[in-house]
Amino acid sequence: MNPGVLAVEEPIAEDIEARFRAHISDTSFPCVGAKSAQARNLLEVVVAYDMRSGWDDLRIHDSLLKWADRYREDPEGLRSIAVVFQYPETLCEGEFERLLWERLQSFAEKDNWLGQPYDPSVSSNPADPHFSLSFGGAAYFVVGLHPAASRPARRFAYPTMVFNLHDQFEALRTDGRYERMRETILERDRKLAGDINPMLARHGESSEARQYSGRLVTDDWTCPFKDPRQEEK
């Protein structure tokens, strides 16, 4: 698991990144935040080998830490960092959800090992309505995309994890822009899917962990994740 060794050949990685950026640019894609990030060159794409493997975990985690640092230096504009995996080519919603949490658990273990603090503005308990992930001391919200997603807005040819910094959405709330953006995304999603995504909720209403994979989960769903720093909070 050498972070300096790329398992995906460069021409393939370039093609995967180009396909992802084209997907974001497509007029039917509902997330205006991602579109804004790409338009302002604030969307970073990390192409990884296989979501079933920890091969790229160190490289991905390092990218998250650097992304948080760059945001602290210049917090203007919406930004996202997308991790797109070449494999597996086929998987069901349950498999994607399991792999997503496996990778997030691995990143959390590395964050803890490096002595990174948990963002004090959020909870480390995935059952808490104020939960968010934390890497490099910064809270992150994750949006999963994959070929078999039941929601059209979550479908993409490759398994993907899009990391968004929680603080930037709090800044939008402070500026009074969050609700307008949220309503725009909801309406675009409704036109694409025919209905509103029942899993969407505002931060603080229910745990955002329920939304990460995109799978419709029941009220008794338990998040398969525990940050190693949870007991310390």
Distances (CA, A) of 64 to 25, 45, 67, 153: 23, 11, 5, 24
Question: CA-to-CA distance for 179 and 72, rounded, in angstroms?
Answer: 24
Say what the pLDDT of residue 175 is. 66
Q: What does the DSSP assignment read for 74-108?
A: ---S--EEEEEEEE-S---HHHHHHHHHHHHHHHH
Query: pLDDT by residue (tens digit) across 149-202?
Result: 998 889 999 999 999 998 877 765 666 665 666 676 666 766 665 566 655 555
Say what the pLDDT of residue 146 is. 97
Residue type present at position 217: V
The angle at the Cα of 104, spanning 25 to 12, to the nearest 5 degrees, equals 45
- With a pLDDT cut of 90, the percent of the chain lying above it is 59
Query: pLDDT by residue (tens digit) across 103-134?
Result: 999 999 999 999 999 999 999 999 999 999 99
Say what the pLDDT of residue 233 is. 43
| pLDDT band at residue 95 using 50, 70 and 90 as cut-offs | very high
Mean pLDDT of 65-92: 91
Mean pLDDT score across all residues of the chain: 86
- Name the phi and psi angles at 151, rounded to 5: -85, 125
Query: pLDDT by residue (tens digit) across 39-54?
Result: 999 999 999 999 999 9
Q: Are 116 and 122 in contact (CB under 8 A)?
A: no
